[in-house]
Amino acid sequence: MKTFLKILLAAVVVLLIAMFAIGKAYHFEKSIVINAPAEKIYQNMNSMKAFNRWNPWMELDPNMKVEYSGNSGQIGDQYCWDGNGDAGKGCHTITALVPNQQQSTKMLFMKPFESDATSNIILTPNGNSTKVTWDMDCELDYPMNLMSIFMDGQMDKSYGSGLAKLKEISEK
């Protein structure tokens, strides 16, 4: 029994050290080069309806309820979703637009847990192509920040899928 308690105590200490070493801030970004001018790519990201044509999370629930509000393609353009356990519930709002260069958004998650994040999609000319960088920043409270150890793999998959779809529709 004493050995078990020592192992348990050691595991708790390791988790506490890891939790504080990781910190609360989480940043993820992924890039892709698209063989299209920034102007064409921007058309596929300058509104929430355009964004949702390649948004990888829209595929999590084919019966997801989506409601748009605000003026399409302008600051305040928003969609709110309510989906199954995989998709959750929340709202995604455009906070800044720089034509042919950048879209910034704020996401509020209500289910499966409350959280918020910011995201940017940045277009950078790259010869005859355009480099697209999609990032996300959020703060994860202790001990939820331990999830960040596992988040990169899932985020890479989701962002990779979305960027591949954006590439496909932008290169048509």
Cα distances from 81 to residues 48, 52, 111, 120, in angstroms, run: 12, 11, 10, 20
Cα distances from 1 to residues 7, 15, 36, in angstroms, run: 10, 21, 65
Q: Take residue 33 and report the two structure tokens written for it.
A: 């080069």
Nearest Cα residue to 103 out of 80, 122, 77: 122
pLDDT at position 39, please? 95
Q: What domains sit in the chain, N to C, each tagged with a CATH number?
A: 25-170 (3.30.530.20)
What would the pLDDT profile of 27-51 be if each residue is shown by its tens digit?
A: 899 999 999 999 999 999 999 999 9
The two most distant CA atoms of the chain are separated, in Å, by: 67
Q: Take residue 51 and report the two structure tokens written for it.
A: 């964004």
Cβ neighbours around 79 below 10 Å, total: 21
Residue 108 near residue 116, CB atoms below 8 Å = yes
pLDDT at 21 over 80: no
pLDDT at position 14, please? 62
Cα distances from 121 to residues 8, 102, 117, 159, in angstroms, run: 44, 6, 14, 11
> How far apart are the C-alpha atoms of 161 and 172, rounded to whole Å?
17
pLDDT at 5 over 80: no
Using 50, 70 and 90 to split pLDDT, how confident is the model at 4? confident
pLDDT at 22 over 90: no
What would the pLDDT profile of 142-152 be if each residue is shown by its tens digit?
A: 677 656 677 78
What would the pLDDT profile of 52-71 be if each residue is shown by its tens digit?
A: 999 999 998 989 999 999 99
